[in-house]
Structure 1
Amino acid sequence: MGKIVALANQKGGVGKTTTAINLAASLAVIGKKILLVDADPQANATSGLGLDINQVNIYDCITGNASAADIIQQCPEIKKLDVLPSSINLVGAETELLEIEDGQKRMKAILEPLKPSYDFILIDCSPSLGLVTLNALVAADSVLIPVQCEYFALEGLGKLLNTIKMTKSKLNPELEIEGFLLTMYDSRLRLANQVATEVREHFGALAFDTIIQRNTRLSEAPSYGKPALLYDAASTGSVNYLNLAKEFIKKNKKTA
């Protein structure tokens, strides 16, 4: 039975989609069967893996016009990686979910039947705490939170953690925090080291040992519709995410 992990942070530009794409690809290359769910109207995870955003997508699943099994696509160059695509239409789901009975549980109903087919289902959430993101938290078993090593990194985390706490108490009692992932790290900057130290001191074992360093290849890869390991397998970003995938698997073996 697969595990559903939501990648969430309402602050934009923290490396959330980059992490979703590259962690999913790295896990698949290692041998795990992965489904990446693009739950962001910007559809960057979809386009970043070379898939067409102008097609039937997760919005059609939410509105009941398509089943997930019918629209899931295989990543062109990674055999064990499937994608449930998104598009700008997903913006409309925020309104439509209000009118659906048990609307906050719609994504759970979509993804639950898919769990036996995958080792992990990763959900790339939008940089907001709207109804679609709430749906992802209700559907998820855990939440992975990227934290960039920059000024204001910890600002707003309290709001996200309160949302997770509320979701756990009222809608999804099994929801746990998968971990905090430090991203965009530059060892030359004193501030980056300060943020890394603060996160480790505050969250302890919940902080991943792996740190994602700032890397040009990670930024370039999406424009070619590839994860970093296909764009430049020797790059620092590729190595970082492969290490994260190994740590992620090891951590989940301990909790299995």
Structure 2
Amino acid sequence: MTRIIAVTNQKGGVGKTTTAVNLAACLAEADLPTLLVDADPQANASAGLGVRVDDPARSTYGLLQGSLAVAEAVVPTCVPRLSLVPSCPDLAGAVIELAAADDHERALAEALHGGLDSYRFVFIDCPPSLDLLTVNALTAAGEVLVPVQAEYYALEGLAHLLETITLVRERLNPGLEILGVLVTMLDSRTRLGREVAAEVREHLGTHVFEAVVPRNVRLSEAPSHGLPISRYDATCAGCDAYFDLAKEVVSRGQEAGPR
């Protein structure tokens, strides 16, 4: 059964897109057919996989407009078994267009419906905000993954995000669950980094993944080459962390059972 996972945090710079790209790539490297839907108008996930959109109609924007099916929007990537629905700046205009439509929170769910049977995992990379695009992603998803940077303000804004998830669950998507919270950009050499990671675990308990993504130069370099970390440097600590996370994501899905 296809698992649809929204990767979101309205706080920018927390490793959201890095996580969406590299987790999707690691699962695909493990022979699990995976689709990444870039729902951020900044299109960083698309660029991080070396994909640039020439025709906005063949992107997440076109998908939300209802002008094409999932299979028509999908493009291949450098990783076998990893496909992408790319984004483009035009997607920002979709927020205005969707606001005028009936049932506008369900546009993405309806666009994806019936087009995902060939995938084990679908990840939706959300914009760094709690706008209509993010609500669409949460309505379409079955699970939410929340990256949290190991910094002083790590928990700031998280309560608001959790409230939004609760509202979406109550009003639009009763099956929505929190898959987990991921600590990112951890410098374990610093006292602050260790304390923040401990605080996140204290507040959120078993929701927090065991896997932790370290602050890693190779992870930072990979997007500029249009490659996920598994193709840029599979031997670095950042790549190890995302493969560990991939194992946990698979395991947590098995524990939850079929949806």
Could you tell me how far apart the structure 1 residues matched to 2:41 and 2:141 are? 19
Percent identical among aligned pairs is 49
- Normalising to structure 1: TM-score of the pair? 0.98
Q: Distance in 2 between matches of 1:245 and 1:90?
A: 29
The residue correspondences of 1:1-256 to structure 2 (distance < 5 A) are: 1-55=1-55, 56-75=58-77, 77-256=78-257
- Equivalent residue letter for 2:248: E
SS of residue matched to 1:123: strand
Q: Which amino acid aligns with 1:204?
A: G
Alpha-carbon separation, structure 2, partners of 1:195 and 1:53: 38
1:148-174 deviations in Å (ceiling 9; x for gaps): 001111000011001001000111110
Give the C-alpha shift of residue 190 in structure 1.
1.1
| Contact 1:47–1:53 (CA under 8 A) maintained in structure 2 | no
What do the CA deviations read for 1:56-107 (whole angstroms, capped 9, x no partner)?
21101111222221120111x2110000110000100110111111110000
Gaps of 5+ in 1: none
**Counterpart Cα distance in 2 of 1:187 and 1:54:** 42
> How far apart are 1:180 and its partner, in Å?
0.3
The alpha carbon displacement at 1:228 in A equals: 0.8
Q: Which runs of 5 or more structure 2 residues have no equivalent in the other structure? A: none
Structure 2 contact 229–239 (Cα < 8 Å) conserved: yes
Deviations 1:27-55 (A, max 9, x none): 00011110000000000000110111333
Give distance in 2, aligned partners of 1:31 and 1:254: 20
| Distance in structure 2 (CA, Å) of the matches to 1:228 and 1:174 | 32
Structure 1 CA distance for aligned equivalents of residues 22 and 54 of structure 2: 22
Task: State the distance in 1 between where 2:187 and 2:53 align.
Answer: 33
**What is the Cα deviation at residue 110 of structure 1?**
1.2
Distance 1:196 1:65 in 2: 44
Q: In the TM superposition, what whole-angstrom CA distance separates every residue of 1:100-159 from its partner, at most 9, and x where no partner exists?
A: 111100000111212322101000000000001000000000100000001111000011
Instruction: Give the 3-state SS of the residue equivalent to 2:66 in structure 1.
Output: coil
Post-superposition, which runs of at least 4 consecutive aligned residues in structure 1 deviate over 4 A?
A: none
1:58 and 1:68 in contact (8 A); partners too: no
User: How far apart in 1 are the matches of 2:200 and 2:39?
Assistant: 27
Q: Distance in 2 between matches of 1:31 and 1:201?
A: 35
Aligned to 2:10, what secondary structure does the other structure show?
A: coil
Letter matched to residue 158 of structure 1: A
CA distance in 2, matches of 1:252, 1:72: 25
Q: CA deviation at 1:189?
A: 1.3
Specify the code of the residue in structure 2 equivalent to 1:163.
Answer: T
Q: Which amino acid aligns with 2:75?
A: Q
Aligned partners of 2:151 and 2:242: how far apart in 1? 20
Q: Is the 8 A contact 1:5 1:123 kept in 2?
A: yes
Aligned residue identity for 2:152: Y
Aligned residues: 255
Work out the CA distance in 2 between the residues paired with 1:117 and 1:169.
29
| Cα distance between partner residues in 2 of 1:193 and 1:94 | 39
What is the alpha-carbon distance in structure 2 between the residues aligned to residue 163 and residue 54 of structure 1? 34
